[in-house]
Structure 1
């Protein structure tokens, strides 16, 4: 159904002015400058497609820096696990800078232990429905790698207790996608998007946020009809001590009534700050990653 949310009347004019300035610059560079630099008018196509994509990835990183905690850093690269799994290349990896060593190959491609990754994202241009499906499934499979951690040792966690990505959303790896626009009829996207995922993908591994700069924000709505960013919510502890059933929020596509206010992009900024500031960070136990081999021990 269609629902209109009221605008927040209590807001910081200073922060709002700074944020809108940042958003306007980002949107302009993403939609216009990148094409002016890399689009060949005579041939009617993008020239240097690799550089075009890299330019937009850099724009996204600079934009994300405005509303992610300064203790985090942003780059592109691959996730890796101690169980010998490697992700496909991620356009954006947000990671804990203090706990992540610089691991790269001879081509300067970076590899990030999944323990210290705080979010992963895809950066796209104009997406068809089939391209969106492909990107979402790629994100979901990369997101699932966090559950391969063998010996979780917590560096930072918002809640006491054991690492439990199946039941605590902030133990999972948040995922997002940013594109310029959706090149299909998105009026039924909230109803259709569940069917975009391949059958073996768990609900909790689905996207957190999908932002189309021109169209809106794909997120979720909980049982209280409040917009949120989790595909699944773990059960709550009942008075009798039992755990209630997990809740699967409904999909929601937030469309700005006035695109000049950037309300959908502001919501994305707010939710990304909450996700990246609250995600659990684990210690990368490199003895689990290494193949040390046999040794001889000489003691006194």
Structure 2
């Protein structure tokens, strides 16, 4: 069963998203006389803003979406992320407006990359970038408050303790007939299976995620100590099918994410003398 009103609203959002991402953005930034984009940077920023607006219809309203960098208390800093879903209530030093944005990894719930047409090489680069960012999710020295059923920090075997990663693109510029069996080879050999993508949405091709031993679609590369197989789903009779599955899985990922609380004092340098009440000279 489904709700007709919600389904209609969702399809409307998808139509607006698809049109703005594919047609409007190209019409604005494509110079047909020179057969190339002008202001390529602005073109990318425009598309990222379109994706953020679409995602706000999907993820819980307690979260916000921005772009920027992820920090850890171990002095790590990620590469720039197109999309960062985070809890604004647990994000110190969040910079508004045009100022650079930095997010403690404990308050991050998901990260994403936004691309146009992807060649094999560009797809591989995007996946490995996401995997490197996702690996930072394990760099928590002293996890804060979590769920009562998750008393120990164990992201190796509990996928809910890592923020999720996703990629949205217009299409793949290569043969996808065997992609679910080939996609692992797009990753560098050193990438752990648990650090691989959660969901990938190609607007023209379909959706990539995972399947468990019982044949259930699961948005985790590793779950309950098992590395899962890749799954490629594509629209057959419903043009909204892969958008619906993507949205359902991303909502599941963000609502099931273990809530870690950043420890402010571990993100700033406090001199030893300050702890005794003496002022350093």
TM-score where L is the length of structure 1 = 0.89
* C-alpha spacing 1:24/1:152, structure 2 compared with 1 (3 Å): same
1:281 match: secondary structure: coil
Is 2:205 the counterpart of 1:215?
yes
C-alpha deviation, 1:103, in angstroms: 3.7
Counterpart CA distance in 1 for 2:47 and 2:36 is 16
Contact 1:96–1:281 at 8 Å: present in 2 too?
A: no
1:151 match: secondary structure: coil
Match of 2:192 in 1: 202
Match of 1:241 in 2: none
Counterpart CA distance in 2 for 1:35 and 1:158 is 48
Counterpart CA distance in 2 for 1:217 and 1:159 is 31
Is 2:228 the counterpart of 1:249?
yes
C-alpha deviation, 1:298, in angstroms: 5.2
**1:74-127 C-alpha deviation (Å, 9 max, x unpaired):** 000000101011000000000011111234499711000000000000000000
C-alpha deviation, 1:286, in angstroms: 2.1
Contact 1:30–1:59 at 8 Å: present in 2 too?
A: yes
Q: How many residues align?
A: 277
Alignment RMSD, CA only? 1.7
C-alpha deviation, 1:258, in angstroms: 3.1
Counterpart CA distance in 2 for 1:39 and 1:158 is 52
Counterpart CA distance in 2 for 1:162 and 1:294 is 29
Could you tell me which of 24, 30, 36 is aligned with 2:27?
A: 36
Counterpart CA distance in 2 for 1:20 and 1:103 is 33
Match of 2:2 in 1: 11
Counterpart CA distance in 1 for 2:230 and 2:101 is 34
Is 2:15 the counterpart of 1:24?
yes
Tell which deviates more after alignment, 84-93 or 222-231: 222-231
Aligned pairs for 1:132-211 (under 5 A) are 132-154=123-145, 156-157=146-147, 159-211=149-201
Match of 1:275 in 2: 253
2:226 match: secondary structure: coil
**1:222-243 C-alpha deviation (Å, 9 max, x unpaired):** 1011112110112xxxxxxxxx
**1:131-168 C-alpha deviation (Å, 9 max, x unpaired):** 110000000010000111100112x5373321211111
Counterpart CA distance in 1 for 2:248 and 2:96 is 35
**1:267-288 C-alpha deviation (Å, 9 max, x unpaired):** 0000000111110121111221
Counterpart CA distance in 1 for 2:93 and 2:8 is 36
**1:202-235 C-alpha deviation (Å, 9 max, x unpaired):** 110000001000110001111011112110112x
Counterpart CA distance in 1 for 2:36 and 2:52 is 25
1:157 match: secondary structure: coil
Match of 1:65 in 2: 56
Contact 1:158–1:278 at 8 Å: present in 2 too?
A: no
C-alpha deviation, 1:195, in angstroms: 1.0
Unaligned 5+ runs, structure 1: 1-9, 235-245
1:295 match: secondary structure: helix
